[in-house]
Amino acid sequence: MPAPHPHREIPLSRPDVSDAEVALVVETLRSGRLSIGPMLERFEKQVAARTGCRHAVACSSGTAGLHMILRGLNIGPGDEVITTPFSFIASSNCILFVGATPVFVDICPKSLNMDPALIERAITPRTKAIIAVEVFGNPTWMDAYVQIAAKYELPLIEDSCEALGTSHKGRQCGAFGRAGVFGFYPNKQITTGEGGMIVTDDQGLADACRSMRSQGRGVTPLEPEGGRHDPANVGAWLRHERLGYNYRMHEMSAAMGVGQMRRLDEIIKKRQRVADLYMTRLMTSKSLILPSIEPETVMSWFVFVVRLAAGYTAEERNRIIAGMRNHDVGAGDYFPCIHLQPFYQKEFGFRAGQFPIAESVSQRTIALPFYNTVTERDVDIVCQTLDVMISRENLQRA
């Protein structure tokens, strides 16, 4: 089958790094201060201000941030943590890092986030926290999770790695729970290459995370400006008060973050425009279910994921994705269920059928090319290619 149009490759994702970030990184490289410096503090202040949280702690990845929050809340062996099977693996792996047990609950087919009623049923005396993920940046049900967490006196941990800049009824993602985490991998709304950021109002938790990210050192000698050069702090650099890690974010990444954060509103607008173009173009398709966003939500789109209508199989979906890739149009299968990952099945005995909605949804999703600079023509090419691939499947069935 010929391609609908001859064209250049349209990738699934593409970072948007402006001259401002390049200048900030070069300035940092020339400054001689490559770690624990002023850029880190600036980036943390920006994210704290944006989310309205008192503390922001930058770290080496979103995954590292999740790990430190669980440790900071003293979650460990014998504890259960409720979370979603429909997410990127890190939101569940962090539970395993501390020796606790992930307890999955199924999702709502509309929002793709955890079903609040099922969370309540999954709570046991061993439950020590809830990790909620704003899947694809959608904050639906966050209010309900906050209420459940309050009712059962459980900390709500917000994996906001896909939702930087999204707000719901005026509240920023990351600020709903006891602590939130952002991730800055290159496909996220803003990127630092690799990186993450914890936000919280809890001073004790923030201090514990600052210490853990830097080998368990005491906080005071490190912040600000890495007081290791201060004559009053002799000995502090090699004094370790708790088990820590090297989860620091270096200054070049923080410098990128400073530049990217300044552009966050512009980035959100650009992504909204691309999402609107897809919505308009795909609205009339009988074969597709489009993202469903509540009216009180201002989205900061992470990805644009559609799904095939009920009745399409995983094999059909996979052929459609392969067909798009064959025509140089990026497409992805976000997300395979976490409980069905080979490691989770083998280690914990999970099996197909346990979380039917998550499983059914995950077999039919197709992530479309999505980044700040997608053009109207790109959207046309993507949607035409998608149409052709779906029609091909429909014809084979008939």
Ligand X SMILES: *Cc1c(COP(=O)(O)O)cnc(C)c1O
Judged by CB under 6 A, does residue 88 bind ligand X? yes
Place of tokens 């993202």: 291
Q: Which residue is nearest to ligand X (CB)?
A: 62
Q: Which is nearer to ligand X, 197 or 282 (CB)?
A: 197
Measured from the CB atom, is 138 or 214 closer to ligand X? Answer: 138
- For the bound state, the minimum distance from the C-beta of residue 221 to ligand X, rounded and expressed in Å, comes to 27
Q: First vs last Cα of the chain: how many Å apart?
A: 18
Confirm or reject binding of residue 158 to ligand X (CB under 6 A).
Answer: no
Closest CA to 112 of 340, 307, 295: 307
Choose, from 45, 151, 188, 270, the residue flagged as catalytic.
188
Q: Phi and psi (nearest 5°) for 51? A: -85, -15
- Fill in the per-residue mask, 43 to 62: x = in contact with ligand X (CB under 6 A), - = not in contact: ------------------xx
DSSP 333: -
* Other C-beta atoms lying within 10 Å of the C-beta of residue 49: 11
Question: Which of these ranges, 37-45, 85-93, 311-319, 350-358, lies near ligand X under the rule CB under 6 A?
Answer: 85-93
Active site residue 188: yes
Nearer to ligand X, 113 or 297 (CB): 113
Minimum distance from residue 108 beta carbon to ligand X (Å): 17
Q: What are phi and psi of 56, to 5 degrees?
A: -135, 130
- Is 100 a binding residue for ligand X by CB under 6 A? The answer is no
One of 28, 84, 91, 138 touching ligand X (CB under 6 A) = 91
Instruction: Figure out which of the listed residues 39, 40, 108, 161 binds ligand X, where binding follows CB under 6 A.
Output: 161
Instruction: Map residue 289 onto helix, strand or coil.
Output: strand
Check: CB of residue 166 under 8 Å from CB of residue 144: no
Tell me: does residue 223 bind ligand X (CB under 6 A). Answer: no
DSSP string, 57-113: EEES-HHHHHHHHHHHTT--TT-EEEE-SSS-THHHHHHHHTT-EEEE--B-TTT-S
By CB under 6 A, is residue 159 in contact with ligand X? yes
Distance CA 273, CA 287 (A): 23
Q: Would you say 62 or 139 has its CB closer to ligand X?
A: 62
Phi, psi for residue 365 in degrees, rounded to 5: -80, 145
Given the rule CB under 6 A, which residues bind ligand X? 61-63, 87-88, 90-91, 133, 159, 161-162, 183, 185, 196
Residues catalogued as catalytic:
188
